[in-house]
C-alpha cells in the first residue's frame, strides 16, 4: 500500500490537511484510531479567528459555517460585578466566529468522502518511520504498513508520531486549573462571550447556537465529575457571573459535561526528516485564549503550501522553513494563552495581595486603549503573524 502523504489522526488538523492536499492534486490517506461517530461527537472548543474562517471558506468547506456560524464583534470581560466590553472589530478590523470544532470535523469528513478521499477509521497507528517513510497501523486485528513520501503527524497530544522525532525538546507548563465544560439545552443568556473573573474562580459563557449554550467553570483538575451535580454547576455559574445590576443566567438541562486539565506544551522542532507534526501533536495551549483549533488550521495551511511547492517544483525551501514558521505563531499563542489564563483564573496558591494585583490588571486592561488592543489583536489572531 502506498500514498503520497500518510496522515495520522482525523482531527481538524489531519482532515483539513487531507482536504487542502486534495485541492492541490496530492493524494493522502488519513488513519484514525477511533470510529467516525466518536470523532464527530467529541465536544471541543468553537471560536474561530477570521483567518481560520477564510481558510475553510476559500477551500470550499465553508457553506454550513457561513450559514450556521455566529459572527462576533466583541467579547465581555466581567469582574468586580461589572461587565466591560472588548470591541474586537473596532480595535482590529477583524471578527471572530463561533462554530463548534465538532461541526468543522463533520464538514471536513463529508467533503473528503464526497471527493473519494480515504479516511480509515478504527486504524490505530503503532509506529511511524520518518526516514524510510511509512506508517505501521492496526485495523480489524491486522497489522498493515502504509508507505509514503511524507508523514503528517496529526494524531493529537496523546498520539505516537511525536515520539518519532529523535532528540525532540519539549516545553511544558501544567496550570493548576481545570475546566468543567458544559453543553446546555438553553438559549444563551448573552449575545457575546463573557469571560468572568471572581474570587470564586473563572467562568466562561459561550454559545453554540441560538438554542444551545456552552459554559465553562474553573475547577480543580483533580475534581471528580460526581462532585459536580447539575444544580451545583448552575449555582456556581450564577455566583461567578453575578453582576451588581442583577444580570440573570438562564439554566436548562445539561446535555454533556467533562473536566479537562489545562496545560501549555510545545515540541521543537516540529519536523524530523520526512515527518511533520501539526496541531495538538506538536503543541497544546490552555483554552482561555481560544487558540488550539486556530493553531492546528494554521499549521496545516503552511504544510499544505510547502508540500504543494515541493511536489510542483522540487523545492524544499518551504518545507525546511515549516517548523520555524509554525513555532513563531505557536509561541505567540502560548504566551497569549498564558496571559489570558493568569489574568482570569484564581490561583489556589494565591494570597489576597495576588488577588488585588489581578483586579488591578483587569481594570487596566478594561480602561486602557493600549492594553485592550493588545488583548484584541491577539484574540482575533492579528498579532500571531507578527
Q: Give the catalytic positions in this structure.
A: 72, 195, 287, 291, 379
Task: Tell me if 173 sits within 8 A of 264, measured CB to CB.
Answer: yes
**26 by DSSP, 3-state: which?**
coil
> How far is 114 from 376, CA to CA, in rounded Å?
38
Give min distance, CB of 357 to ligand PHB, in A.
22
> How far is 305 from 317, CA to CA, in rounded Å?
11
Give min distance, CB of 45 to ligand APR, in A.
5
Does 47 participate in binding ligand PHB (rule CB under 6 A)? yes
Binding span for ligand PHB by CB under 6 A among 32-40, 45-53, 242-250, 317-325: 45-53
Task: Give the binding-site size for ligand APR (rule: CB under 6 A).
Answer: 29
Instruction: Tell me which of ligand PHB, ligand APR, none is bound by residue 47, counting a contact when its beta carbon lies within the kind-specific cut-off of 5 to 8 angstroms.
Output: ligand PHB
Does 111 participate in binding ligand PHB (rule CB under 6 A)? no
> How far is 151 from 344, CA to CA, in rounded Å?
39
Task: Tell me if 155 sits within 8 A of 8, measured CB to CB.
Answer: yes
Residue whose C-beta lies closest to ligand PHB: 206
Binders in 193-252 for ligand PHB, by CB under 6 A = 193, 206, 214
Give min distance, CB of 281 to ligand APR, in A.
6
Instruction: Tell me which of ligand APR, ligand PHB, none is bound by residue 288, counting a contact when its beta carbon lies within the kind-specific cut-off of 5 to 8 angstroms.
Output: ligand PHB
Binders in 100-139 for ligand APR, by CB under 6 A = 101, 124-125
Buried-state track 1-23, b at ≥16 Cβ within 10 A, e below 16: eebebbbbbbbbbbbbbbbbbbe
Does 53 participate in binding ligand PHB (rule CB under 6 A)? no
> How far is 100 from 371, CA to CA, in rounded Å?
29
**DSSP state, 122?**
T
Does 254 participate in binding ligand APR (rule CB under 6 A)? no
Binders in 287-306 for ligand APR, by CB under 6 A = 292-293, 296
Q: Terminal CA-to-CA distance of the chain, rounded, Å?
A: 42
What are residue 183's phi and psi, to 5 degrees?
-110, 125
> How far is 29 from 300, CA to CA, in rounded Å?
15
- Identify which of residues 83 and 156 has a Cβ nearer to ligand APR in the complex: 156
Give min distance, CB of 290 to ligand APR, in A.
9
The continuous run of DSSP H or E covering 23 comes out as: helix 12-23
Locate all alpha helices (DSSP H) within 203-316, ordered by sequence: 230-241, 292-313
Binders in 184-213 for ligand APR, by CB under 6 A = none
Binders in 285-344 for ligand PHB, by CB under 6 A = 287-288, 290
**DSSP state, 211?**
T
> How far is 82 from 173, CA to CA, in rounded Å?
31
- Identify which of residues 271 and 291 has a Cβ nearer to ligand PHB in the complex: 291
Site string for ligand APR, 33-52 (x = CB under 6 A): xx----x----xx-------
Q: Give me the sign of the Cα torsion angle 321, 174, 226, 79.
A: negative
Site residues (vs ligand APR, CB under 6 A) = 8-14, 31-34, 39, 44-45, 101, 124-125, 154-156, 158-160, 279-281, 292-293, 296
Site residues (vs ligand PHB, CB under 6 A) = 45-47, 193, 206, 214, 287-288, 290
Amino acid at each position: 500500500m502506498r500514498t503520497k502523504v500518510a496522515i495520522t489522526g482525523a482531527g481538524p488538523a489531519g482532515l483539513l490537511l487531507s482536504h487542502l492536499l486534495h485541492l492541490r492534486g496530492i493524494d493522502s490517506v488519513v488513519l484514525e484510531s477511533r470510529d467516525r461517530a466518536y470523532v464527530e461527537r467529541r465536544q471541543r472548543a468553537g471560536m474561530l479567528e477570521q483567518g481560520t474562517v477564510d481558510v475553510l471558506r476559500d477551500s470550499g468547506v465553508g457553506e454550513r459555517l457561513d450559514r450556521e456560524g455566529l459572527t462576533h464583534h466583541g467579547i465581555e470581560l466581567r469582574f468586580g460585578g461589572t461587565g466591560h466590553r472588548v470591541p474586537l472589530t473596532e480595535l482590529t478590523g477583524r471578527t471572530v466566529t463561533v462554530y463548534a470544532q465538532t461541526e468543522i470535523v463533520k464538514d471536513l469528513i463529508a467533503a473528503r468522502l464526497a471527493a473519494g478521499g480515504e479516511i480509515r477509521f478504527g486504524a490505530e497507528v503503532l509506529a511511524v518511520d520518518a526516514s524510510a517513510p511509512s506508517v505501521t497501523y492496526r485495523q480489524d486485528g491486522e497489522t498493515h504498513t502504509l508507505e509514503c513520501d511524507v508523514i503528517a503527524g496529526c494524531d493529537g497530544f496523546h498520539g505516537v508520531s511525536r515520539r518519532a522525532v529523535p532528540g525532540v525538546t519539549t516545553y511544558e507548563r501544567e496550570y493548576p486549573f481545570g475546566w468543567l465544560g458544559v453543553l446546555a439545552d438553553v438559549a444563551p443568556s448573552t449575545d457575546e462571550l463573557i469571560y468572568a473573573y471572581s474570587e470564586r474562580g473563572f467562568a466562561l459563557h459561550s454559545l453554540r447556537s441560538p438554542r444551545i449554550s456552552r459554559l465553562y467553570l474553573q475547577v480543580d483538575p483533580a475534581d471528580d465529575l460526581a462532585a459536580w451535580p447539575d444544580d451545583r454547576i448552575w449555582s456556581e455559574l450564577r455566583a461567578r457571573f453575578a453582576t451588581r445590576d442583577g444580570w440573570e443566567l438562564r439554566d436548562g438541562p445539561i446535555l454533556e459535561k467533562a473536566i479537562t486539565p489545562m496545560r501549555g506544551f510545545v515540541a521543537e522542532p516540529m519536523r524530523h526528516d520526512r515527518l511533520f507534526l501539526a496541531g495538538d501533536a506538536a503543541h497544546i495551549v490552555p483554552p482561555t485564549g481560544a487558540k488550539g483549533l486556530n493553531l492546528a488550521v494554521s499549521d496545516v495551511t503552511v504544510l499544505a503550501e510547502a508540500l504543494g511547492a515541493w511536489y510542483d517544483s522540487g523545492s524544499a525551501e518551504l518545507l525546511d522553513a515549516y517548523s520555524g514558521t509554525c513555532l513563531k505563531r505557536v509561541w505567540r499563542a502560548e504566551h497569549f494563552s498564558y496571559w489570558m489564563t493568569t489574568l482570569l483564573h484564581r490561583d489556589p496558591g494565591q494570597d489576597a495581595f495576588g488577588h488585588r494585583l489581578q483586579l488591578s490588571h483587569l481594570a487596566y486592561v478594561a480602561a486602557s486603549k493600549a492594553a485592550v488592543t493588545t488583548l484584541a489583536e491577539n484574540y482575533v489572531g492579528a498579532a500571531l503573524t507578527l
